[in-house]
Amino acid sequence: MGKSRVYVHSAAALGPTGDMRRTERVSLAADPPPLELKELVKQVVGVPLRQASHFVELAAIASQLCLKRLGVPAPEDTAVYVGTGLAEVRKTHALFQQVMPPGPGMASPFDFINAANNMAAFYVAKLGNFRARNLTVSQEEFSFEWALQLAWEDLRAGDYRQALAGGVDENSQPRAQHLRRMALRDDQVIGEGAGFLFLSVEPERARAEILGVRHLDAQTIGIELPRQLADWRQDREPVTLLPGFRLSADEIKHLIHTSPDIDVQPYLQHCGCFHTATAFGLAAALDDPAGTSGLVVHVNRNRAGQWMIVGIRSLTG
């Protein structure tokens, strides 16, 4: 029996300014200020999450927005896959401030509970009323790519018929302290946000199709990328490249040189840099039915020099 094809039925991206739609997004010239999400939680989720952390709020808003855009209730046996590079940065920092000298030596119970890195995936499942597989994946720059790959492979194999796959990361202040957790260039903006895709093996009313999540060899990227694009591409359909935050300007130019008819979409200008920015970029490309058309390709590498590529075909643009 052949493997199932996997489709995207809804998408939602939440940016660092509270932007949830394409028309709300702005270009970031500097690190965005801390964002208060309590009102947005009540607006989207419908109930306040009084003890939830900022990290959980990001995941709750984006996942619920994705489910609302689905238009029909998602089944209880929807699997959840959440990627995060740093997870609970702020609550973990608060926890250590309490238990380490000169702190009081005792931690707040809520800070202790919220410091668990899989808390976001728990809330996503709880708010969605899901009772199925629930995974949190942390692989630095490839955290969302791995989460998406696991979800894609599980649906292709028939383990589940639908899944909610997303990525979420929060920022922290001051900048110098946050850069100890993820190295960036001086000209790169520290961002935060979340992106979720509702996946299903059902083709009816699908917005896009997941074509694959692949590793590429660093030594032969100039050969492998055009070959993979040719394999995925249908006729002369438009190709949109979403370059990840580890790619330098020279690397992006080299990729364009190998496939000169690619349209580059610099989505990082709207969300800034964080480990799961890929989730924001792909969800933002698909969350508007009249948005990106044709083949959408996200390319990134990690600090170790490994490359990953995600291919999605938009069916609505």
Q: For the chain, which domains are there? A: 6-200 (3.40.47.10), 208-314 (3.40.47.10)
pLDDT digits (tens, 9 = 90+) for 250-298: 988 888 877 768 899 999 999 999 999 999 999 999 988 677 889 999 9
Average pLDDT on 235-255 reads 90
Q: Between β-strands 263-264 and 162-169, what pairing exists: parallel, antiparallel or unpaired?
A: unpaired
Secondary structure percentages of the chain, helix, strand, coil, to 5: 35, 20, 40
Amino acid type, 145: E
Confidence of residue 102 (pLDDT cuts 50, 70, 90): confident
Q: Residues 228, 229, 231, CA angle at the centre, nearest 5°?
A: 65
Distance CA 291, CA 226 (A): 24
Distance CA 169, CA 308 (A): 19
Length of the chain: 317
Q: Between helices 277-286 and 143-157, what is the axis angle to 10°? A: 60
Short-list 203, 190, 194, 165, CA closest to 310: 165
The dihedrals phi and psi of 7, each to the nearest 5 degrees, come to -120, 155
Task: Count other C-beta atoms under 10 Å from residue 229's C-beta.
Answer: 20
Average pLDDT on 294-303 reads 94
| The pLDDT of residue 1 is above 70 | no
Q: Residues 57, 278, 33, CA angle at the centre, nearest 5°?
A: 50
Short-list 144, 148, 314, 310, CA closest to 238: 314
Confidence of residue 48 (pLDDT cuts 50, 70, 90): confident
Q: What is the mean pLDDT of the chain?
A: 90
pLDDT digits (tens, 9 = 90+) for 68-94: 999 999 999 999 999 999 888 766 666
Contacts of 214 (CB under 8 A, 6+ apart): 228, 308, 309, 311
pLDDT of residue 225: 85
Cβ atoms of 208 and 200 within 8 Å: the answer is no
